[in-house]
Structure 1
């Protein structure tokens, strides 16, 4: 009987340790999913990798886009990826700029931006939160 009373807490402690290790590192499973999606997307052809940076907070994410990908969908994906998808922040308040020219926000489709394979001359977009006053 004494052996059963000692064994049960040990089993519970081991189960809690396994559960804690699976959830302790936030996002450990997400990159693997993102990588597999990236591979599938690249096999489809006409897929380009871009960087999207929120320069005000120093955060950056990579995205795979096609010529048909809209700037509005990039804003939505970037908000989710960078943690800016709170309901009190309107998507319309996020403006997107090319890294080379932050004087004018861009819109439309990525196909209008001279897409090319990622490299030193690849496309980097800056997303900025600029609410209307």
Structure 2
């Protein structure tokens, strides 16, 4: 099943969700990323439960830090690739960009790196404090 929440495309399947890491997601996270991520995560978890009549066994904090990890690594790779004309650098960044294009989030038994995001989840507030905030105007 595919759904769109706040302009962000999400594919939902049993035991996993797949978030398209593209302009609509970046735009959503460009203003108040912590709050908008919480709203997106809540919407995803609710849609999953509605579709499968069971909760997705991923903690909201784990899902949030996984989204941030992929989004900001992808943005860094894109920015770095635009700064250079060196094909070697672009070739090295391409696998990162390809890997980050869709954020695959699965339950523990269906996602080999769920342990990593679960490990970072208790640091969500700290990580959230590092995120770029909306630019303030005078």
Whose helix proportion is higher, 1 or 2? 2
Radius of gyration: which is bigger?
Answer: 1
Whose strand proportion is higher, 1 or 2? 1
Structure with the bigger RCO (C-alpha within 8 Å, sep 6+) is: 2
Asked if TM exceeds 0.5, the reply is no
When the two structures are superposed, what TM-score results if normalisation uses the length of structure 1? 0.29
